[in-house]
Structure 1
Amino acid sequence: MDVCKSSLIPPVGSLELATICRVLNDQGLLKLGQSREDKSKRVTLRVDEADITFALQGIRFFRNCLQ
């Protein structure tokens, strides 16, 4: 939250967050558990954390967040 506030990135609503998670699930980056309600679904990472860190280092915004 602090990174987003300092970068002036507005928060997303629960509906938008659910959509973002579904897209990342479709792309194979996240796994969404089964539940009737979106906010009750378990979210797990499908790729290695080190791979994500490596990929995001090439983008200045994320590189600054990772430091």
Structure 2
Amino acid sequence: MTLAHELGIFLRQTYEKQARFLLPKIGRYAHARQFKRMQKALKKIKNALGCVYRDLLRKITSDMNL
């Protein structure tokens, strides 16, 4: 996300705050053998990553078309 900002690509949402809270939770859930909760948090992270990825693709392809 910082690389996109350096390249002048501004994203709609970065999900940085969500990732900052969920990534440590995933580690804690795994350590405590709470795998269902871990999978739920991991799914949220993957969903956010997919949203950022698709937003980047949209911005890059629209810049190429200009």
Q: By the TM > 0.5 criterion, same fold?
A: no
The TM-score with structure 1 as length reference comes to 0.24
Select the structure that is richer in helix.
2
Tell which has more relative contact order, 1 or 2 (C-alpha 8 A, sep 6+).
Answer: 2
User: If the length of structure 2 is used for normalisation, what is the TM-score?
Assistant: 0.24
Please identify which structure carries the higher strand content: 1
